Amino acid sequence: MTRFVERHPAWALVVMIVIAVALWLIFAVWPQGLEDAVGRKRVFLNALFNGITLGGLYFLVASGFTLIFGLMRNVNLAHGSLYLFGGYVGYAISASTGSWVLSFIIAFILTALVGVLLQVLVFRRMEGQDLRQTMVTIGLSIVFADLMLWACGGDFYQIQTPNWLIGPVELPLVTAIKSSGEPVYLRYPLVRLVIFAASVVIGVAMWLALNRTRIGMIIRAGVDDRDILAATGVRIQLVFVVVFALGAGLAGIAGVVGGTFQSLSPGEDIRFLLASLVVVIVGGMGSIPGAALGALIIGLAEQLGSVYIPTYAIVVTFLIMVLVLAIRPQGLLARR
Amino acid sequence: MLKSSLGLITLSSLLLSGTVFAQEKIKVGVTATLEGTYTVLGEDGIRGFQTALNVLGKKVGDKELEFVIASTDATPDSAVRAVRKLIEQDKVQILLSPLSGDEGIAVKNFAKTHPELTFINAASGAQETTYVDPAPNFFRYNMDGAQWQVGLGKYAYEEKKYRKIATVGEDYSFIYTQVFGLVLEFCGAGGQVTNRQWVPLGTKDFASVIAALPDDVDAIYLGLGGADAVNFLNQYQQAGGKAHLMGGSIMIDQTILSSKGNAKNALVGTLAASGQADTWENPSWQRFVKDYQDAFPPNKRFPSPSLLATNYYGSTMALILALRQVNGDLSNNQTKYKEALAKIELDAPNGKIKLDSNRQAIGTNFVTEVVDDGKGALFSKVVNVIPNVNQTLGYDPAVFAKIGLPSRTVPECKKY
């Protein structure tokens, strides 16, 4: 941090001003002139929070994707199918048992199992052949999509939000002052806050596991140099299986999350594959903090875009990707 | 020698019988949105189409109808690709296509490049398709989006006493047409439409759109369909939304009313208008509902047919009945068949249908309210039936032309 300030004093100033403006926009009561120019504060705050919570969902999907890529150099284009599969499993569990929490656990376990099968039966046979693996995953994603269409049909599925999560809560952020002088607080869907908190917890846990534990050390070593790691006697195949299971399981959890606050239907697999590709390209392939930053940027861009420039909202995400590719092709937080 | 000549004879007789066989068939291409946001709508459209075949049969004189189904995803280019494939590869002679608004405009334009073939619209409802520069070989037996809203604005203003409303709709031609019909009538009666929000087709996260809904209105009109509608309702419930709702024709429809989960319960009491009403007492509607229910097991269909099933049923009915009138004669660039199609009057399940000079349906419209049947299933209940709705919505054609074509901002909220 201090090094950055010393090296780029001008940039540091710009960043500080941006942060200050953002904080002011969030906490201050907007003057009338500003409300007239850009709309009500409630809309802005909602879009901001929605962007951050949507970023949480994107992070869940993309972190598994980037973890698998980081260690195995395997661009798993069937990752979206794992997301959708997890969602359908979650729906089945929550519909039959009525337990939302249980649906996360079962979805994680089953998608992780599918991940293990993929790694053991398919990818181990073509290790180191990046192109072949990529092509096979495209094929698999098509097969999975059709199988799921066959089993679940084209209907929309929604996972039932548990009763204690339905409805909004009031946050201690003032959006406006009534004429009587009474402040109006921001009301925000509780379920999105919980989901965001959960993704932060998962993100932090992953970071700790990677940076503070022995298995994390092995994985990081594997990312840097697989062959040397294998030569030191680590059972690298086992590490691969564990990482693939974890990455797939995360996609499964994300499926349950997506099925809860959006919906599940054929085509969602491709949409989330695309989203996680964009996220990891922006953040940097193989980097967990990169996935977090990328997810946040893309989520915010989508939501703020849909409110302030609705016509071009779809383009904004891809513009960001193009910009990043032009200026910093390895991604914002990638290690060289 | 004998062997080989025998073989040759067998082969040629086989080939001959093949050609004779082919002459007895009439090939029809069908498209439906079996992918993407509108998958559920396409599936139920096909159910309506199959119900029609069950009822009417596939025989026309001594000829047999053969159908080829192609899938689209509600984008215009996917529809043109599917139609082109049906014509060029499958050599179909008649088309039953397409389902969605933008697709309709594209297919109508494409129809002009094949004047010898016949295009029967399956379910699409954008106004432009038959109102602007119509194709002489394109026939539409369902009303357009604006016709499907007739009665709604007036009922909301006079009976429900709504004065100010806002709209949220998907950003494409069919919903433009629906909002066009609503705004014309509601503002004509004296109401105000304060805000029109447009979201891209296939939007998943509506949270910010919901936050931007105005508070100071009596009701919010929803022009959404398929997955978009389900997602909106789900997030609307999570955000604790409480406003009165009004719905478009594919929003208040079995495709949404029978979706899984409880978000749809926000729709109970919602006012809507459409080319059909689930609980209409009319015997031919009841017979159609029963035919539909008998044709599929309960878990493979909706409790009652959706608007798409009804439209596909009506279009298929026109296709087959007109073909029977000319006894399957498709000679001379299908001239006789096209004449029969233009003149035919249908006794469709959702009321009598006849075509105007643009080959656009004049039919019956229904204002409805969503009710719970007591067992958790939602249906649209008739509150008003309006017969003989034409494309200019009862306006003088010259006045109607001045309003302009449906778009994000047309029509203005005023009395024309």
Tell me if chain B has a CB within 8 Å of the CB of A266. yes
CA B272 to chain A, closest CA, distance in angstroms equals: 22
Is the Cβ pair B238, A156 closer than 8 Å?
Answer: no
- Length of chain B (residues): 416
- Rounded CA-CA distance A229/A219 in Å is 9
Chain B: nearest CA to A314, how far in angstroms? 8
Contact A223, A286 (CB under 8 A): yes
Q: Does B22 touch chain A (CB under 8 A)?
A: no
d(CA A57, CA B39): 24
- Average pLDDT for A87-103: 93
Beta bridge partners of A99: none
Is residue A159 within 8 Å of residue A252, measured between CB atoms? no
pLDDT exceeds 70 at position B23: no
Reference B200, options B228, B221, B171, B224; nearest CA is B171
* Interchain contact, A156 vs B199, CB within 8 Å: no
The span from the CA of B338 to the CA of B356, in Å, is 14
Question: What is the Cα B23 distance to its own chain's centre?
Answer: 32
Instruction: Give the whole-angstrom CA distance, residue B69 versus residue B306.
Output: 19
Average pLDDT over residues A48-77: 89
Give me the half-sphere count of Cα atoms (radius 13 Å) on the Cβ side of residue B273: 29
Chain A, 54-73: which have a CB under 8 Å from a chain B CB?
54
CB contact under 8 Å between B260 and A271, yes or no, is: no
Amino acid at A76: N
For residues A283 and A264, the answer to whether their CB atoms sit within 8 Å is no
Structure tokens at B203: 């939007």
Q: How far is CA B262 from the centre of its chain?
A: 26
Q: Closest Cα of chain A to B238: distance in Å?
A: 5
Beta bridge partners of A19: none
Residues A284 and A297: their CA atoms lie apart, in Å, by 13
Handedness of CA A278, A280, A281, A282 (dihedral sign): positive
Instruction: Enter the tokens of residue B207.
Output: 């949270």
Radius of gyration, CA atoms only, chain A: 21
Residue of A nearest to B213 (CA): A43
**Interatomic CA distance for residues B341 and B354, integer angstroms:** 10
A window 177-206, beta carbon within 8 A of B? 187-192
Query: What average pLDDT does this structure show over B346-350?
Result: 94
- Chain A contact for B226 (CB, 8 A cutoff): yes
Q: Report which DSSP code applies to B219.
A: E
| pLDDT at residue A8, as a whole number | 80
Distance separating alpha carbons of residues B224 and B209, to the nearest angstrom: 13
> Which positions in chain A touch B260 (Cβ < 8 Å)?
91, 95, 155-158
The model's confidence at residue A335, banded by pLDDT at 50, 70 and 90, is low
Contacts of A283 (CB under 8 A, 6+ apart): A62, A66, A289, A290, A291, A292, A293, A294, A295, A297, A331, A332, A333, A334
Q: Per-residue confidence at B18, pLDDT binned at 50, 70, 90?
A: very low
Q: Is 90 exceeded by the pLDDT of residue B91?
A: yes
Mean pLDDT value across residues A263-268: 85
Chain centroid to Cα B317, Å, comes to 14
Amino acid B39: pLDDT? 85
* pLDDT band at residue B242 under the 50/70/90 scheme: confident
pTM of the prediction?
0.81
- Cross-chain CB nearest to A261 (options B171, B235, B259): B235
In tens, the pLDDT along B163-219 reads: 999 999 999 999 999 999 999 999 999 999 998 999 888 888 888 888 888 888 899
The pLDDT tens digits of the residues spanning B40-74 come to 899 999 999 999 999 999 999 889 999 999 999 89
Q: What are the Cα distances from residue A90, in Å, to A47, A262, B37, B277, B316?
A: 28, 13, 21, 35, 40
Question: In this prediction, what percent of chain B has a pLDDT beyond 70?
Answer: 94
Q: Quick one: tokens of B291?
A: 């035919």
Model confidence at B15: pLDDT above 70: no
A162 versus B85: the higher-pLDDT residue is B85
CA nearest to A95 within chain B? B261
For residue B39, which of A93, A268, A94 has the smallest C-alpha distance?
Answer: A268
- Percent of chain A exceeding pLDDT 70 equals 99
Question: Of the candidates A157, A302, A311, which has its C-beta nearest B260's C-beta?
Answer: A157
Q: What was the pLDDT predicted at A336? A: 53
Count CB neighbours of A180 within 10 A: 5
Which residues does chain A have within 8 Å of residue B34's beta carbon, measured at their own beta carbons?
Answer: 154
Distance CA B308, CA B285 (A): 14
**Confidence tier at B4 by pLDDT (50, 70, 90):** low
Percentage of the residues of chain B whose pLDDT score is greater than 90: 77
Q: How far apart are CA A78 and CA A121, in angstroms?
A: 15
Q: B226-238 and A236-261 are packed helices; what angle lies between their axes, rounded to 10 degrees? A: 80
Residues of B in contact with A161 (CB under 8 A): 238
Distance, CA of B166 to CA of B161 (rounded, Å): 15
Residue range A187-205: mean pLDDT, rounded: 89
pLDDT band at A118 (very low <50, low <70, confident <90, very high): very high
Residue B328 — pLDDT band, cuts 50, 70, 90?
very high
Least confident residue range of A10-24, A168-182, B70-84: A168-182
| A199 has pLDDT over 80 | yes
pLDDT of residue A26: 82
Q: A158 vs B260: CB contact, 8 Å cut-off?
A: yes
CB distance A310–B198 less than 8 Å? yes
pLDDT band at B383 (very low <50, low <70, confident <90, very high): very high
* Average pLDDT value over all residues in chain A: 88
Task: Say if residues A72 and A249 touch (Cβ distance below 8 Å).
Answer: no
The number of residues in chain A equals 336
Query: How would residue A166 be classed by pLDDT, with cut points 50, 70 and 90?
Result: confident
SS3 state of residue A182? coil
